[in-house]
Amino acid sequence: MKRILLASLVMLASCGKSGTPNVSVSDAWARATAPGQTSAAAYMTIANRGSADDKLIAVAAPSPAMAMMHQTSTTDGVSSMQAMDDGLVVPAGRTVQLKPLGAHIMVTDLKEALKAGDSLPLTLRFQHSGERQVAVRIVDPTSVDGR
């Protein structure tokens, strides 16, 4: 009887932790770069309409470029970027914005300038949802919100 009760408690406890994330990515954009500029930041909206958290754990760009997640912070008027080595949690039922002066994807080692009207393909890998292919719209270099 104790074993049945213990098994029942374990099953009940695990019920609250189950669920499935449902991640989508939209509004991906980056500013056009100047000739010779080898890096750019990409921004986007990541929505999780599922019932469980997920985490963006890796980002890839076409070779030879590299992509990584960064967070911008400002202290005493000085901005700096830190790598987000632990990934980016996308909570269940929430939307996360990657935006200027916040979390973003840094693309480095670009061999050609990014031109307005073009797109840059990125692959986002989530811990539970797998990979998502994203076409990052390249916009005018003066844009502040991707429009």
* Residue 44's pLDDT band (cuts 50, 70, 90): very high
pLDDT for the residue numbered 144? 79
Residue 12 lies in a domain: no
Mean pLDDT along residues 89-116: 96
Does residue 124 lie in a domain region? yes
Query: Mapping DSSP to helix (H, G, I), strand (E, B) and coil, where does residue 94 land?
Result: strand
The 3-state DSSP class for residue 50 equals coil
CATH number of the domain to which 132 belongs: 2.60.40.1890
- The residue with tokens 């104790």 is 2
Dump pLDDT digits (tens) for 2-42: 454 444 444 444 444 569 999 999 999 999 999 999 999 99
- What pTM, to 2 d.p., does this model score? 0.84
Q: Work out how many domains the chain is built from and give that number.
A: 1
**Cα-based angle 87, 46, 20 (whole degrees, multiple of 5):** 80
Mean pLDDT over residues 81-88, rounded? 94
Average pLDDT over residues 73-88: 91
89, 55 contact by CB (below 8 A): yes
Q: Which domain range does residue 54 map to?
A: 19-139
Determine the pLDDT at residue 14. 41
Look at residue 99 and give its three-state secondary structure.
coil
Average pLDDT over the chain reads: 89
57 in a domain, yes or no? yes
